[in-house]
Structure 1
Amino acid sequence: MRKPVGSSKDMIDAERIVFNLIHSKQNMGIWVADIKRETTLPESMIKKSIKNLQTRGEIKEVVNIKNKSRKHYMAASFEPADEVTGGNWYSEGKLDKEYIYELRQACLRYISRSSVASRNGISEFIIKGGCFPGATTAEVDQILENLVLDDEIIEEKSTGYGDYENFPVGRVCYRCKSKGEVGAMASIPCGVCPRINLCSPDDFISPKNCELYQKWLNF
């Protein structure tokens, strides 16, 4: 990592001030107007310093997804934070619709192939699969939330039986929605049961002695 002071012997005082300020912001960078506000340097000197620092590769201009029109600078030794670039959702400051589409399809394929899948299983498949380098659990969670909202998958809590036997009772799981199928909360009583966390196959509260669950099975 480049040191904030003395990184270039021929750096004039103004350039050193500007560089140290930019460097102090680390991977968040700084808007040029804030450089003017946080220093007492004349605007012309700031502009010249920035130009010289860029020419020498000391700093770089980055796109801040929240304010694309603003000149935003960062020390060359840092990579922009996701808050600045938008993370994997964005490429060169633009929403990466292809990446989002491919990630959605990958999640759908995994859930369809698995019949029922857990959040952890889906995340592990996406992140460790190698097709989406840099993907995060938070991104997978956002995709799953959108797929539920788009009515393409159903979110349910495991009952510990049937397709859910490999998942602890109460674990949030996902499955693809069949044609003509009603929503998750209406399709199984466990999804809205206030005692689901106390339910287990061999306990006092279990699907075996649940009147609502038996009625649902016999529907």
Structure 2
Amino acid sequence: MSRSGASSLKRKRPDSNSLSQSLTEHERVLYDLIRSKQDMGIWTRDMKRETNLPDNVVTKSLKVLQAKKLIKEVVNIQNKGRKHFMAVEFEPSKELTGGAWYVEGNLDIEFIKFLKELCLKQIYMMKVATVEGVSDAIKRTGAFKVECTTQQIAEIVKALVLDNEILEVRSTGSGEFSSIPIGAVCYRCTSRGGLGGGGPKIGAMASIPCGVCPRISQCTPDGIISPRTCVYFAKWLDF
């Protein structure tokens, strides 16, 4: 899993002169189309539609472009059964990969669960904390060998609010809020989120994929992130 952001443009484009000499006309048309999609890539069916090339020509050209290491196949979490390609110099967008919470197209449930427990513990210890405060505290623990961004922590904290493990409150600037500016958004544990009974407990929602998904707040019936297209939710229902 990528624990930090990465630029979509990773390498220099292969020399255009050498490409002109080594690619056939069909291969060049296909490559230029794929590269024009940048970090979103393109589905093979859309390639055929946009280029009007026969299926066998597209299939053969894709194999050549892959062999020359000009394109790569990537996972689209919304449609894993579709072959999706992009130029090698780009990294897939979050819309395709699901962002830092996914590894090779699979939701990293164990990492999310661990991070939720760690955030809950830090908030309990700090009594009241901002996202930035939780993020800084976790960095100081050295729990991760790679960077865990403040944005990731913010998504986890939002998930904990939805789980009713913590409450979102506003600082009054006095008492336990004295170190936090007045009006700043901060978080505190609910009665069920305390350490009584041996330590922080993740809520009942954690038993289903939604409970460990930090993007649940973006999940809508007809959206890019949706229960209708979520393979993890479907598997849970089947179970």
1:133 shift after superposition: 3.4
Matched-pair contact (CA < 8 Å) for 1:106–1:126: yes
Residue 213 of structure 1 aligns with which residue? none
Residue 179 of structure 2 aligns with which residue? 166
Matches within 5 A, 1:48-67: 48-67=60-79
Residue 154 of structure 2 aligns with which residue? 141
Task: Report the aligned-residue RMSD.
Answer: 2.3
Q: 116-125 vs 86-95, which deviates more?
A: 116-125
Matched-pair contact (CA < 8 Å) for 2:122–2:138: no
Matched-pair contact (CA < 8 Å) for 2:128–2:177: yes
1:134 shift after superposition: 5.2
Give me the whole-angstrom Cα distance separating, in 1, the residues matched to 2:72 and 2:139: 30
Structure 2 residue 18 is matched with structure 1 residue 2: no
Q: Any idea what the Cα deviations from partners look like across 1:19-73, whole Å, max 9, x if unmatched?
A: 1111111111111111111112222111100011111211110000111111100
1:142 shift after superposition: 2.1
Matched-pair contact (CA < 8 Å) for 2:123–2:134: yes
Of 82, 101, 108, which residue of structure 1 is paired with 2:120? Answer: 108
Residue 50 of structure 2 aligns with which residue? 38
Residue 195 of structure 1 aligns with which residue? none
Give me the whole-angstrom Cα distance separating, in 2, the residues matched to 1:90 and 1:112: 28
Higher relative contact order (CA 8 A, sep 6+): 2
Letter matched to residue 48 of structure 2:
K
Structure 2 residue 135 is matched with structure 1 residue 123: yes
Give me the whole-angstrom Cα distance separating, in 2, the residues matched to 1:12 and 1:127: 51
Matched-pair contact (CA < 8 Å) for 2:120–2:193: no
Q: 1:134 to 1:70 in 2, by over 3 A?
A: farther
Of 156, 177, 181, which residue of structure 1 is paired with 2:169? Answer: 156
Q: Any idea what the Cα deviations from partners look like across 1:61-101, whole Å, max 9, x if unmatched?
A: 00001111111001111111111100111111111101111
Letter matched to residue 124 of structure 2:
S
Report the count of equivalent residues: 181
Q: 128-137 vs 51-60, which deviates more?
A: 128-137
TM norm structure 1: 0.75
Give me the whole-angstrom Cα distance separating, in 2, the residues matched to 1:127 and 1:71: 38
**Identical amino acids, percent of aligned pairs:** 48
Q: 1:180 to 1:150 in 2, by over 3 A?
A: closer
Residue 23 of structure 1 aligns with which residue? 35
Matched-pair contact (CA < 8 Å) for 1:88–1:134: no
